């Protein structure tokens, strides 16, 4: 991998800082006063039962939803309220729980869209194929192929992306997100729909992403995967943060145990 | 020549071949309809990009076509002689931007050079599409369709209701478009062959530009918007800006077609801005397969040619209605594409839909 | 402006406004059950008027109107069954284009059946010159026919949707198609029914208004645009809003003639449409937070 992908590790500084984030849908408090920080270079996991507000939290960070109150700081600058493309430009990339691939485009083109922020050519330049866009195009293509290589997809580069198997679509989405050259990547249930072999591979991939200097925030249902790869874990329940800490700490937390194993006394 | 340019070479060869065939079979009158079909194709190519690649419907492009045509028509028929002392007219005259001749009634006239009005037409349609596009492109589906339909209707009613714009008669006596080399683009019989080549060169040039655009960074961004808008935004694509730029570009294309139509026909009437014309353009893009420049060009030339030759008789508009419904019922992703699928792949399951399925909607509902 | 003139303007505005409201309600009924906008809605109005005009030499006027309504409703049903009903998971763009195509077909059919002439039904009471004097202004009794019939239609519709089982089933389909299907409601029949009702409604409006505004094969599209404007201004799907917005638009148009050339009258409605769509797509009478714009 090219060296420009490696960035100075500043582990002490919080790359992402979420303060008292709140968002409701009708009467439902989907994200309720959630605060946490993600230090640079960390893999941070978010877990919680269904409907705990994990995806809403992601949508708030990525800007596809606007918070009713609370703030989000990325690299020390506020990003709350910015439209998604501006947030992407700041260096936050994401993948989706239900893969959102660009239909009617090849795998390679999908990844090339990811390079959008890192290239310049506009309408006129594109129409006239000015020399600088030709060079840029070559660079973007090479870069995208490199990423496909890294994720084990080089042979399907010219296939229609929406015709791929689900697991491979996930990889395309990941390659696309990496093409953005983000500093933070949000992975929304990347293991959903993957088989065991693919899940093991995924853990490896997530680690190698972190080794590139990219901070990872990951939502996942697969408990063994998340306990295995995360440096720290945030546990959400009904929109509220109920615990935060390392895998060991979280596993021993009585509140977490209650949420996951069910509170027998309360059920009667 | 790389393989990429083969279709363009083939198109150019076809254009030349057709001209030669009409010359030897003494059927040169066909060229007239082929010229007009080419002019309508210019509109449709722009619309194809907007509908097929960015997924935005517009029922207002007949309006932009008319804006172009009327600007050219008004600019080149307005007699400037009585206003010769005006500063602007004097400046234009000194800069060589005006033309002085005697018209068919023996009256001396001074009018703006068609180059100036062409520029003005492109600029005007660009500005209007920008102003209208900013609020309207925030809409989707029906709302966008109705809003653009409404825009087209406004243009139609303005043309119909303004004495200055000739009301129902439109504007006539528009001079030809003088091109370098002493040749004039107009409807005169002895200019027909050259006009034919000129207009088809224009179409081929436009096809090259659009082909380049589709395969460039902004083109990919536009297709991504169509493929999945939220994901495109998350990849850093400023979707609103891209849609707007494309809307403006396609409007300018429509105006370009209108300008040359006005010069070719020697005038333009308000029906060019009518709903039926706008629907016709949409129908052609639909037949061509939405996201297919070549399919759209093919559909445009064939359908326009047949229509202009009068093969559909009094059922002209009805034919386009039937075509529209039929395409949407049996092959919403385009007849040509479907034919291509049967013959080339015989595999319908892996073919991409022209319309992303509504799965998207379900996902958005379930975000909480 | 004299007070007689003002009343004259208001009454003429209310007359055309109530027709706009009826067209808008036609849009709403189909929108509520299917989520689509039927671009051929204006053609139903034209068709109703045209059919009644052709029938009136052979039978009494009320019968001609009734038959015209029935025939137009049948056309609505046939069109829906032929072009929409059997589609599996159609995309919105597909439906838009189909109804646009339908409107062209109906219009062209009308052109071939009835040619380009402008026609009209006879006045329901009296003749062109009959007039009633209210507050010093002279108005045609047909105005009261229009108001009466449109008013009655709105009342009957609200009873239908509120009180009858079928009406409630149709509302259930609009609220949650899946749940409605699970309750044993045949959703497809409900959609066809919604086309029947809106076609009938349009035809009825087309008949009562024909003596005043006259009927022409091309009169559908402007009506559709205005009806849609009214539907949007009143909040799509909201029929009370449609009535208010319809009357408002009618009155604005009527007064516009006093300050603008007649030829530009139609532009007003469209400008309102564009403005409202751009800045308040949920309509003027719906609070922004409540009526979230349905996205497709």
Which residues, other chains included, contact C17 with Cβ-Cβ below 8 Å and sequence gap of 6+?
Answer: C246, C247, C248, C249, C250, C251, C253
Q: What CATH number should be reported for the domain holding residue B172?
A: 1.10.3470
Query: Which letter, b or e, does each residue of C56-89 get, where b requires 16 or more Cβ atoms within 10 Å of its Cβ?
Result: beeeeeeebbbbbbebbbebbbebbeebbeeeee
Distance from CA of C31 to the nearest CA of B (A): 11
Q: Give the pLDDT of residue B363.
A: 33
Residue B361 pLDDT exceeds 90:
no
Measured between CB atoms, does C221 come within 8 Å of chain B?
yes
Which residues, other chains included, contact C153 with Cβ-Cβ below 8 Å and sequence gap of 6+?
Answer: C22, C25, C201, C204, C205
Cβ-contact A255, A243 below 8 angstroms: yes
Strands B177-179 and B183-185, by their bridges, are antiparallel
Tell which B residues from 163 to 182 touch C, by Cβ distance under 8 Å: 167
Residue contact B357–C279, C-beta within 8 A: no
Contacts of B324 in chain C (CB under 8 A): 97-98, 100-101, 104
Domain count, chain B: 1
> What CATH fold (topology level) applies to the domain A1-91+182-268?
Rossmann fold (3.40.50)
The confidence band for A118, taking pLDDT boundaries of 50, 70 and 90, is confident
Contacts of B320 in chain C (CB under 8 A): 104
Instruction: Measure Cα distances from B27 to A169, B12, B33, B297 in Å.
Output: 55, 20, 12, 23
Residues in chain A: 268
Token pair belonging to C229: 């404007």
Q: Who has greater pLDDT, B306 or B89?
A: B306
Residue B117 pLDDT exceeds 60:
yes
Across the range A239-249, mean pLDDT stands at: 91
Residue contact C274–B328, C-beta within 8 A: no
Tell which B residues from 235 to 274 touch C, by Cβ distance under 8 Å: none
pLDDT digits (tens, 9 = 90+) for C85-98: 888 777 777 888 88
pLDDT digits (tens, 9 = 90+) for C199-234: 999 999 999 989 888 888 888 888 888 999 999 888
Tell which B residues from 280 to 309 touch C, by Cβ distance under 8 Å: 282-283, 286
Tell me the CB-side half-sphere exposure of residue C11, using CA atoms within 13 A.
23
Contacts of B167 in chain C (CB under 8 A): 263
Q: What three-state secondary structure class fits A11?
A: coil
Residue contact B146–C278, C-beta within 8 A: no
Measured between CB atoms, does B194 come within 8 Å of chain C?
no
**pTM, two decimal places:** 0.88
Cβ-contact C142, C212 below 8 angstroms: yes
Residue A1 pLDDT exceeds 70:
no
Instruction: Say how many CB pairs under 8 Å bridge A and B.
Output: 129
Residue contact C92–B324, C-beta within 8 A: no
Measured between CB atoms, does B101 come within 8 Å of chain A?
no
pLDDT digits (tens, 9 = 90+) for C121-150: 888 887 777 778 777 777 788 888 888 988
Q: Give the pLDDT of residue A9.
A: 43
Tell which C residues from 105 to 164 touch B, by Cβ distance under 8 Å: 105, 107-109, 112
Q: Give the pLDDT of residue B333.
A: 65
CA-wise closest residue to B281 among B260, B259, B297? B297
* Conformation bin of residue C291: beta by default, left when phi > 0, alpha when psi is -120 to 50: beta
Q: Give the pLDDT of residue B182.
A: 81
**Phi/psi of residue B145, nearest 5 degrees:** -60, -50
Instruction: Measure Cα distances from B70 to B125, B131, B169, B248, B257 in Å.
Output: 11, 19, 12, 18, 11
Across the range A144-158, mean pLDDT stands at: 91
Q: Give the pLDDT of residue B166.
A: 85
Residue A3 pLDDT exceeds 60:
no
Measured between CB atoms, does B220 come within 8 Å of chain A?
yes
Token pair belonging to C1: 């402006």
Q: Is residue C296 classed exposed, middle or buried when 0-12, 13-18 and 19+ CB atoms within 10 A define those classes?
A: middle
Least confident of A22-31, B83-92, C14-23: B83-92
Q: Give the pLDDT of residue C1.
A: 66
Token pair belonging to A179: 């093409």
pLDDT digits (tens, 9 = 90+) for C239-253: 888 999 999 999 999
Measured between CB atoms, does B315 come within 8 Å of chain C?
yes
Q: Give the pLDDT of residue A4.
A: 43
Which position has the token pair 């002209």?
A: B316
The confidence band for B42, taking pLDDT boundaries of 50, 70 and 90, is very high
Q: Give the pLDDT of residue C190.
A: 87
Across the range A176-194, mean pLDDT stands at: 92
Residue A71's H or E segment, with its range, is: strand A69-74
Instruction: Measure Cα distances from B366 to A25, A30, A173 in Å.
Output: 11, 12, 20
Q: What three-state secondary structure class fits C72?
A: helix
Across the range A217-241, mean pLDDT stands at: 91
Q: Who has greater pLDDT, C180 or A189?
A: A189
CA-wise closest residue to A23 among A188, A191, A236? A236
Q: Which residues pair with A241 in a beta bridge?
A: A236
Q: Give the pLDDT of residue B353.
A: 40
Cβ-contact B66, B262 below 8 angstroms: no
Residue B316 pLDDT exceeds 80:
yes
CA distance A66 to B362: 20
Instruction: Let me know if chains C and B touch, i.e. at least 3 Cβ pairs under 8 angstroms.
Output: yes
Domain extents for chain A? 1-91+182-268, 104-181
Least confident of A144-148, B267-271, C130-134: C130-134
Distance from CA of B183 to the nearest CA of C (A): 41
Q: Which domain holds residue B294?
A: 3-365
pLDDT digits (tens, 9 = 90+) for C65-74: 999 999 999 9
Least confident of B215-229, B350-364, C99-113: B350-364
The C-alpha angle B1, B7, B11, rounded to 5 degrees, equals 115
Q: Give the pLDDT of residue B101.
A: 80
Question: Which of C36, C221, C281 shows the shortest C-beta gap to B143?
Answer: C281
For C109, the closest chain B residue by CA position comes to B318
Across the range B150-158, mean pLDDT stands at: 93
Measured between CB atoms, does C270 come within 8 Å of chain B?
yes
Q: Give the pLDDT of residue B337.
A: 55
Instruction: Measure Cα distances from C1 to B77, C4, C7, C255, C258 in Å.
Output: 41, 8, 10, 11, 10
The C-alpha angle C243, C249, C254, rounded to 5 degrees, equals 125
Measured between CB atoms, does C281 come within 8 Å of chain B?
yes
Residue contact B217–A114, C-beta within 8 A: no
Residue B299 pLDDT exceeds 50:
yes
> What CATH fold (topology level) applies to the domain C3-279?
ABC transporter involved in vitamin B12 uptake, BtuC (1.10.3470)
The confidence band for A262, taking pLDDT boundaries of 50, 70 and 90, is low
CA distance C91 to B286: 14
CA A53 to chain centre: 15
Q: Give the pLDDT of residue A263.
A: 55
Measured between CB atoms, does C218 come within 8 Å of chain B?
no
């Amino acid at each position: 991998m090219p060296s420009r992908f490696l960035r100075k590790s500043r582990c002490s500084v919080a790359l992402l800082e979420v303060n008292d984030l709140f968002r409701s849908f009708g009467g439902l408090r989907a994200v309720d006063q959630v605060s946490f920080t993600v230090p640079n270079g960390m893999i941070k996991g978010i877990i919680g039962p269904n409907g705990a507000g994990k995806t809403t939290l992601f949508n708030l960070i990525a800007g596809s939803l606007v918070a009713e109150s609370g703030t989000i700081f990325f690299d020390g600058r506020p990003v709350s309220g910015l439209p998604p493309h501006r947030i992407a430009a700041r260096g936050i990339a994401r993948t989706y729980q239900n893969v959102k691939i660009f239909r009617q485009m090849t795998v390679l083109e999908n990844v090339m869209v990811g390079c959008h922020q890192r290239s310049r050519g506009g309408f006129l330049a594109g129409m006239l194929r000015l020399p600088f866009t030709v060079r840029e195009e070559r660079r973007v293509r090479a870069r995208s192929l490199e990423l496909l290589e890294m994720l084990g997809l080089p042979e399907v580069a010219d296939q229609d992306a929406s015709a791929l198997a689900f697991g491979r679509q996930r990889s395309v989405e990941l390659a696309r997100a990496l093409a953005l050259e983000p500093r933070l990547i949000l992975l929304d249930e990347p293991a959903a729909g993957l088989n065991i072999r693919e899940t093991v591979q995924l853990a490896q991939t997530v680690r190698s992403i972190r080794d590139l200097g990219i901070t990872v925030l990951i939502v996942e249902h697969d408990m063994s995967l998340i306990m295995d790869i995360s440096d720290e874990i945030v546990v959400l329940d009904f929109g509220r943060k109920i615990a935060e800490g390392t895998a060991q700490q979280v596993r021993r937390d009585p509140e977490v145990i209650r949420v996951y194993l069910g509170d027998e006394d309360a059920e009667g | 020549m790389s393989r990429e340019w083969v279709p363009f070479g083939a198109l150019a060869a076809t254009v030349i071949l057709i001209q030669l065939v009409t010359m030897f079979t003494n059927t040169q009158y066909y060229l007239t309809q082929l010229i007009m079909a080419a002019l309508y194709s210019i509109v449709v190519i722009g619309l194809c990009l907007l509908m097929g690649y960015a997924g935005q419907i517009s029922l207002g492009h007949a309006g932009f076509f008319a804006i172009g045509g009327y600007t050219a028509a008004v600019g080149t028929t307005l007699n400037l002689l009585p206003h010769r002392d005006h500063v602007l007219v004097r400046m234009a005259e000194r800069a060589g931007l005006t033309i002085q001749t005697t018209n068919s009634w023996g009256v001396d006239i001074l009018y703006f050079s068609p180059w100036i009005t062409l520029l003005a037409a492109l600029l005007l349609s660009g500005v209007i599409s920008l102003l209208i596009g900013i609020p309207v492109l925030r809409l989707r589906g029906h709302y966008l369709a109705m809003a653009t339909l409404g825009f087209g209707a406004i243009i139609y009613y303005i043309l119909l209701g303004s004495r200055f714009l000739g009301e129902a008669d439109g504007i006539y006596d528009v001079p030809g478009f003088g091109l370098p080399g002493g040749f004039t683009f107009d409807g005169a019989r002895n200019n027909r062959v050259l006009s034919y080549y000129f207009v088809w060169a224009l179409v081929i040039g436009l096809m090259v530009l659009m082909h380049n655009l589709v395969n460039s960074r902004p083109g990919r961004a536009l297709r991504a918007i169509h493929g999945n808008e939220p994901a495109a935004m998350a990849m850093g694509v400023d979707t609103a800006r891209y849609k707007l730029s494309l809307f403006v570009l396609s409007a300018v294309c429509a105006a370009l077609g209108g300008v040359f139509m006005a010069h070719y026909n020697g005038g333009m009437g308000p029906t060019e801005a009518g709903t039926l014309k706008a629907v016709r353009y949409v129908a052609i893009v639909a037949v061509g397969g939405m996201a297919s420049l070549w399919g759209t060009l093919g559909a445009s030339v064939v359908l326009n040619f047949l229509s202009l030759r009068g093969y559909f008789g009094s059922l002209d508009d009805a034919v386009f209605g039937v075509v529209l419904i039929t395409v949407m019922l049996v092959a919403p992703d385009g007849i040509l594409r479907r034919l291509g699928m049967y013959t080339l792949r015989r595999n319908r399951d892996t073919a991409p839909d022209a319309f992303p399925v509504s799965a998207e909607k379900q996902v958005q509902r379930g975000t909480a | 402006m004299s007070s007689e003139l003002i009343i004259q303007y208001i009454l003429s505005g209310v007359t055309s406004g109530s027709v706009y409201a009826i067209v808008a309600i036609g849009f709403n009924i189909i929108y509520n059950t299917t989520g689509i906008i039927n671009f051929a809605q204006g053609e139903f109005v034209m068709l109703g008027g045209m059919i009644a005009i052709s029938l009136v030499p052979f039978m009494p006027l009320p019968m001609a109107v009734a038959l015209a309504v029935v025939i137009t409703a049948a056309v609505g049903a046939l069109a829906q069954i032929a072009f929409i009903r059997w589609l599996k998971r159609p995309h919105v763009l597909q439906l838009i284009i189909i109804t646009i195509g339908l409107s062209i077909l109906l219009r062209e059919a009308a052109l071939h059946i009835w040619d380009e002439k402008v026609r009209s039904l006879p006045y329901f009471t009296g003749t062109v010159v009959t007039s009633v004097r209210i507050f010093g202004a002279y108005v045609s009794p047909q105005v009261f026919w229009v108001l009466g019939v449109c008013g009655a239609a709105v009342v009957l519709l609200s009873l239908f949707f509120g009180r009858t089982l079928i009406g409630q089933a149709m509302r259930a389909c609009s609220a949650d198609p899946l749940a409605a299907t699970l309750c044993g409601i045949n959703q497809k029949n409900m959609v066809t029914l919604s086309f029947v009702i809106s076609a009938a409604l349009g035809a009825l409006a087309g008949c009562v208004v024909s003596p005043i505004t006259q009927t022409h094969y091309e009169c559908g599209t402007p009506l559709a645009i205005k009806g849609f404007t009214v539907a949007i201004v009143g909040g799509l799907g909201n029929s009370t809003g449609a009535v208010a917005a319809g009357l408002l638009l009618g009155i604005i148009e009527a007064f516009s003639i006093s300050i603008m050339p007649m030829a530009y009258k139609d532009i007003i409605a469209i400008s309102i449409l564009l403005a409202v769509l751009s800045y308040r797509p949920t309509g003027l009478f719906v609070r922004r937070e409540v009526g979230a714009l349905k996205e497709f």
